[in-house]
Each structure stands twice: as structure tokens, then as C-alpha cells.
Structure 1
Amino acid sequence: MSNIAYPEPRYHGDKGEVNAAFRPADTPPDISSPGAATHYLATHASTGGEFGLYKVDLGARAAGAQTHFHKAMSESFYILSGELELYNGEKWVTGREGDFLYVPVGGLHAFKNVTDEPMSMLMLFSPGAPREEYFEQVAEMTRRSREELKEFRVRHDSYFEEDFDSGL
């Protein structure tokens, strides 16, 4: 007999429900900017907070995100196409099509596209968090004061090394 334990049931009906959500591949991105596009595949709202899944397309030489960590959620990266430099908390590694990086809660990480080609990836946050506001406002917040940017990041569970003078 196996010692595998499943989570406690959360659905208690005797028959299944019709409640799946389909998103066609040709759905336009939810956010577009020069050099980047983000598709909200499954949001905190649509999954009841279970997870958030986003398809992110980065253009050539896109900056990505500097070293940071999250206190409330893990983050995973799955490379669909192209290459992405990923910082795993210890060193930079090159992620290519099919590569996967899991960053547990509290794990330092960063990413950037250093190539002359675009790339595409899936980003998974677990549990789900309302990341949409972060994605939609982060560019604007980088034009504000350092303190406003730090407060914005912390409100969105993003603790960047550059925001803390004495380290982490």
C-alpha cells in the first residue's frame, strides 16, 4: 500500500461540474509594451488563489527583473522559446526551450534576456497572488521615487536586494 497522501477534498459534490475556462492561443496579450508582452493565462481571481500562470514574451536585450525574493509565494519559470538568463540565487544559468527553474518561497532569483532574439516563457506563482496590478504598474513605478518603488514592490511581495541598503 502506498504512503502517498492527497490533499483533503475541496469539492464535495457527487457529480462533476461544467466550470473549465478555455483561452485560445490567439488571444491578444493583456499587457503590451515595447519589448514585452504578458498574457494572463490563469489569475489569482480565476483560480480562487490557487496559482497564477502568465505567458511572458521578452524582446531582445530585455532587462527582466533584478535579484529579489518573495515571502508569500514560489515562482517558477518554463522556457517556451529562445534563451533567458536566470539567476538561481547562486549563479546565472542559461535557460533554453524546455528548461525549468523552480524558486521556493524566500529564494533569491532574477532574469534577463541578454540575446539579440526574443524569448517566451511561462511564469507560475503559487499560491496565486493578484500579480496583474504589479505587471500593469511596475513600469510607471520605476519612474517614481526610490521609496515609492520600494513600497510598491513590498506591497506586491517583491523584496529586491537594491531596496535594502544593508543587504537582506
Structure 2
Amino acid sequence: MSYPEDLTYPEPRYHGDKGEVNAVFRPADTPPDLSSPGGSTSYLATNDSTGGEFGLYKVELAARAAGAKVHFHKAMSESFYILSGELELYNGEKWVKGRTGDFLYVPVGGLHGFRNATDEPMSMLMLFSPGAPREEYFERVAEMSQRGSEELKRFRVRHDSYFVEDFDNGAEQAG
């Protein structure tokens, strides 16, 4: 394989000559940051810890967990990498079955959703870029869902989550 001579990298952001000791290690046995009957979420790299570069979360969904209905983001892309089990993913056109090792990248503005439609738990990595303060969203979305449609819609929009059902009078084209 040949490589072009004029590769373009981003502008340097570190201007030192020797490097720094600033890596962050999270052991695999660290307990999840958020747990519920529907699953758990581990905050691997947050908006705060990456300086806004990205957010990386390990999400485990219980059997038949609802996940997220069809929505899009105006400020960030979202990616899904399935670590174990199966997950139905909406790719903007249709629901597809994702299995261990499958990956879905959703650019900014791309319609997407996910759900565990199986009788087994599953695990995945979710990556948001650039980073955003998603922790409050994960921690409060169940509570906000109980409060009602207008308050839930405001909460979702505050967190850059535009759900089709909020803007189509409840008619979700993706089922």
C-alpha cells in the first residue's frame, strides 16, 4: 500500500518537547457509574476528562431493554460498538441486527436508535464526538420520562437529543 507524501494532521495542541505524565487508567473491575434494572453505564471517558474531545461509555442493557427511540443530534456524532450479545440499531433507514464486533457510526444529524430485542443481556461502547456532558442525561432520563411530554422534550433538547416522536405528533416512522 502506498501513502501520499502530503498527509495532513490536525494542528499541534501540545507544544512541549518531552511529553507529560497525564494518562488516566480505569481498571476493568471498576463498578459502573450508573445502575438500574434495565442495565448499567460506565463513564470511561467524559467530556470533562477529555477536555471536550469525546465521551466514551460502556453500556450494558438487560434483556428486552428499550434503549432509545429514533432521534438525532445537532452537535455531536455517535458511534456504537457491540462488545457482546445482540442489539437492534436504527441506521436512518431501517432496523438492523448488530452482533458482537459490529460497529455503527452516526454522523451529526443522522437518525438512529437502539434497543435490545433479545432475551439476553448485551454490552456496547458508545462514543460521542465531540464530547458533551451526557452524564446528567443518562442519570435523569428515566425520571424525566415519568414527568410528561413537554418537560421530557425540553430535557432531551437541552441534551442535544431530538426525538422523532417529539416533533411528529408521536408518529415514529421507524417503529
TM-score by length of 1: 0.97
1:95 correspondence with 2:98:
yes
Deviations 1:3-28 (A, max 9, x none): 32000000000110000000000000
Deviation at 1:65, TM superposition (A): 0.2
Quote the residue 1:155 is aligned against. Answer: 158
Q: C-alpha separation between the residues in 2 aligned to 1:84 and 1:145?
A: 27
Aligned partner of 1:51 among 43, 50, 54: 54
Comparing 65-74 and 1-10, the one that deviates more: 1-10
Offset at residue 131 of structure 1 (A): 0.2
Distance in 2 between residues matched to 1:49 and 1:124, nearest whole Å: 12
Distance 1:96 1:73 in 2: 24
CA RMSD of aligned residues (A): 1.3
Gapped regions of structure 2 (runs ≥ 5):
none
Asked if 1:138 corresponds to 2:141, the answer is yes
User: How many equivalent residue pairs?
Assistant: 168
Q: CA deviation at 1:35?
A: 2.0
1:121 aligned partner:
124
For 1:2 and 1:70, locate their aligned partners in 2 and report how far apart those are by CA, in whole Å. Answer: 36
Tell me, in whole angstroms, the C-alpha distance in 1 between the residues paired with 2:162 and 2:5.
40
- Note the residue ranges of structure 1 that are not aligned, 5 or more in a row: none
Query: Does the alignment pair 1:40 with 2:43?
Result: yes
* Alpha-carbon distance between aligned partners in 1 of 2:155 and 2:79, rounded to the nearest angstrom: 22
Partner of 1:112: 115
Superposition deviation, residue 44 in structure 1: 0.1
1:74 aligns with 2:77: yes
SS at 2:49's partner residue?
helix
One-letter amino acid matched to 2:155: F
1:16 aligns with 2:22: no
1:67-86, Cα deviation, whole Å (9 max, x unpaired): 00000000000000000000
Pairwise CA distance, 1:145 = 1.9
Task: For 1:3 and 1:155, locate their aligned partners in 2 and report how far apart those are by CA, in whole Å.
Answer: 41
